[in-house]
């Protein structure tokens, strides 16, 4: 099989995967016990009169058989129509496009910083295997890995925002202040970014560090490293040019595959720091069971994950000549 065939095959596989995901998400929401209309309009809104309920059911097509509902939803979805919120009639797509940039900003910042830190620390730990530094940093990573993300976020908020008052505790801009220059506004925004970003960096660095370290340990025992050393190359070149390049391969794949995990972390962090991204939207809409919004959100997130996985598979296949496409 050539690289091109592999790519085509890999992309074709995405189609049934995507369809299966739409079925799962649809089923999860529609086959759950309870009538969505009843559930939404219970409680704070009070009950709904039978006529009004009837009208809602017809408006949202909930009187149709379930498979018809699914195909209607799917065909709209394929045309880019994610429907309208049950709660405030807002277009789901519009609602999301307002939030996506914030999530991307937060995730990219945290991701890039944690990749850099994890690689530096992971390489040192692997090179100094069995040293006190290795033991301490591994233990630190394990501790970081064991801390619940929401609790870490709360502690950061308590210490740095509420006690020390170094950084603001929520939102992404101070409300009600006229900034003299765009730089001031940007600085204010950065101050808001720091706490959620640092929380994510701690979590993800702990996660990636373990990965980099074990990949490096694997590579460092291989023959070509001995060869490189035997050729008289300096240790710096052996480690950073020969070993690291090869160790990065699994790390690259891993970063691609971990995007779902990263998004999960972002959901909680965004909620706690009131960062108005997709994650916060997810929690908000789950609270009120806004089904169209939740379906749209899950689909978009699932597509993001699928694309990220595809990219990392392609990157892996392109970079590693040893890979067999089967």
- Residues 256-275 binding another protein (CB under 8 A) are 260-261, 263-265, 267-268, 271
Exactly one of 7, 104, 233, 302 binds another protein (CB under 8 A); that residue is 302
Exactly one of 3, 11, 28, 112 binds another protein (CB under 8 A); that residue is 28
The minimum distance between CB 235 and another protein, in angstroms, equals 27
* 301 part of the interface to another protein, by CB under 8 A: yes
* 24 part of the interface to another protein, by CB under 8 A: yes
According to DSSP, the residues that pair with 84 across neighbouring strands are 91
The minimum distance between CB 261 and another protein, in angstroms, equals 7
* 13 part of the interface to another protein, by CB under 8 A: yes
Interface region with another protein, contact rule CB under 8 A, candidates 4-12, 57-65, 108-116, 296-304: 296-304
Exactly one of 289, 314, 317, 319 binds another protein (CB under 8 A); that residue is 289
* 140 part of the interface to another protein, by CB under 8 A: no
- Residues 201-240 binding another protein (CB under 8 A) are none
Three-state SS annotation for the chain:
CCHHHHHHHHHHHHHHHHHHHHHHHHHHHHCCCCCHHHHHCCHHHCCCCHHHHHHHHHHCCCCCCHHHHHHHHHHHHHCCCCCECCCCCCEHHHHHHHHHHHHHHHHHHHHHHHHHHHHHHHHHHHHCCCCHHHHHHHHHHHHHHHCCHHHHHHHHHHHHHHHCCCCCCCCCCCCCCCCCCHHHHHHHHHHHHHHHHHHHHHHHHHHHHHHHHHHHHHHHCCHHHHHHHHCCCCHHHHHHHHHHHHHHHHHHHHHHHCHHHHHHHHHHHHHHCCCCCHHHHHHHHHHCCCHHHHHHHHHHHHHHHHHHHHHHHHHHHHHCCCCCCC
Exactly one of 61, 148, 171, 187 binds another protein (CB under 8 A); that residue is 148
Interface region with another protein, contact rule CB under 8 A, candidates 72-80, 170-178, 229-237, 294-302: 294-302
* 186 part of the interface to another protein, by CB under 8 A: no
The minimum distance between CB 33 and another protein, in angstroms, equals 7
* 170 part of the interface to another protein, by CB under 8 A: no
According to DSSP, the residues that pair with 91 across neighbouring strands are 84
* Residues within the interface to another protein (CB under 8 A): 13, 16-17, 20-21, 24-25, 28-29, 32-34, 39, 139, 142-143, 145-151, 154-155, 157-158, 162, 260-261, 263-265, 267-268, 271, 282-283, 286-287, 289, 294, 297-298, 301-302, 305-306, 309
């Amino acid at each position: 099989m050539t690289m091109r065939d592999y790519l085509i095959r890999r992309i074709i596989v995405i189609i049934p995967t995507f369809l299966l995901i739409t079925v799962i998400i649809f089923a999860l929401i529609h086959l759950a016990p309870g009538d969505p209309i009843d559930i939404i309009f219970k409680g704070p809104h009070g009950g709904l009169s039978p006529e009004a309920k009837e009208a809602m059911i017809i408006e949202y097509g909930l009187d149709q058989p379930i498979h018809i509902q699914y195909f209607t939803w799917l065909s709209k979805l394929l045309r880019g129509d994610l429907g309208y919120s049950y709660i405030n009639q807002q277009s789901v797509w519009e609602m999301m496009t307002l939030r996506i940039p914030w999530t991307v900003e937060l995730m990219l910042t945290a991701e890039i910083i944690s990749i850099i830190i994890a690689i530096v620390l992971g390489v040192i730990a692997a090179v100094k295997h069995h040293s006190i530094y290795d033991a301490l940093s591994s233990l630190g990573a394990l501790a970081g890995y064991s801390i619940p993300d929401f609790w870490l976020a709360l502690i950061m908020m308590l210490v740095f925002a509420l006690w020390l008052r170094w950084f603001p505790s929520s939102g992404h801009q101070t409300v009600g202040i006229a900034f003299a220059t765009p730089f001031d506004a940007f600085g204010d925004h950065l101050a808001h970014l720091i706490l959620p970003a640092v929380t994510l960096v701690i979590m993800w660095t702990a996660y990636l560090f373990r990965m980099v370290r074990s990949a490096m340990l694997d590579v460092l025992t291989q023959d070509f490293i001995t060869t490189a050393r035997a050729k008289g190359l300096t240790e710096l070149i052996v480690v950073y040019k020969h070993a690291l390049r090869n160790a990065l391969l699994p790390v690259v794949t891993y970063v691609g595959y971990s995007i779902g995990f990263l998004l999960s972390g972002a959901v909680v962090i965004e909620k706690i720091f009131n960062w108005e991204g997709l994650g916060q939207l997810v929690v908000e809409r789950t609270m009120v069971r806004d089904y169209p919004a939740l379906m749209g959100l899950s689909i978009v997130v699932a597509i993001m994950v699928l694309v990220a996985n595809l990219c990392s598979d392609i990157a892996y296949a392109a970079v590693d000549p040893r890979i067999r496409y089967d």
